[in-house]
Amino acid sequence: MNKKLLGTLLGMGTLATLGLGGTTAHAAESTINNGTNTGDVQINGTLGQSNTDPEAPINEGSDQWINVTLDTATIFYNTAGSTTIESPTYAITNNSGRPVSVIASKITKTNEVDVSAISSLAVNLTRNDNGASSTASLVSAGTTGVTGATSLVLANNVGQVAKTDTAATDSSTVKNNAATFKYDGTLSSALTDKIAPTFTMTLTFAAQSWS
């Protein structure tokens, strides 16, 4: 599997890593009163902040928390005489200091191959720790479009889904920040000639706020 860093996420290419840093600020309030006409404001800058740090001063819910690695060169297949569609298993890992949700949000057919024989094609995601899962229909009765999509929350890089959860001291033991995904489906009838449809699937990620 080829791997490269990307600042966007998407479908079928090579391996993508998403993430940027950012800053936020919060200070105690003071009231300027009784004839005073000036106020001093403390400024604390943090530059080059990593979004892998749960203590990073990045706005809660900001897309700048998104830092996800996923397989994006994927396939599904079927053998002659069978109506069952299957696929290998692929991986998604959340590297962020915040939990991140993932959902299949779009499917686009990218060639002119007739897919009317596809009764169903779905993507299924399963979190590595406890089997929590999400699914989305990608093709139904030969029609391409995402329906019935549900989201899956991945813990942060130290295994926290909530701020009050105990952070893992050894990142190698963390399982709930990662998931696998694969495709399954059926054909309306077994094919006698090979076809090779292609699609681009868009996954949308959202940082989960701790505020």
Give the tens place of pLDDT for each residue, 10-43. Answer: 444 334 444 444 444 455 777 777 777 777 777 7
The more confident residue out of 170 and 34 is 170
Rounded mean pLDDT, 184-206: 96
Q: How many CB atoms lie within 10 A of CB 190?
A: 13
Dist CA 39 CA 131 (whole Å): 54
Task: Kindly report, residue by residue over 145-168, the tens digit of the pLDDT.
Answer: 999 999 999 999 999 999 999 999
- Report DSSP letters for 31-98, one per residue: ---TT------------S--TT-TT----TT-GGG--EEE------B--TT--EEB---EEEEE-SSS
pLDDT at residue 12, as a whole number: 41
pLDDT at residue 125, as a whole number: 97
Ramachandran angles phi, psi of 98, nearest 5° = -125, 150
Token pair recorded at residue 109: 């057919």
Task: Kindly report, residue by residue over 102-145, the tens digit of the pLDDT.
Answer: 999 999 999 999 999 999 999 999 999 988 999 999 999 999 99
pLDDT at residue 206, as a whole number: 97
Q: How many CB atoms lie within 10 A of CB 184?
A: 15
Exposure string for 115-151, b = 16+ CB within 10 A, e = fewer: bebbbbbbbbbbbbeeeeebbbbbbbeeeeebeebee
Model confidence at 194: pLDDT above 50 = yes
Percent of the chain scoring above 70 in pLDDT: 84
Model confidence at 9: pLDDT above 50 = no
Q: 113: which DSSP letter?
A: -
| Mean pLDDT of the chain, nearest integer | 86
Dist CA 5 CA 176 (whole Å): 23
Model confidence at 46: pLDDT above 50 = yes
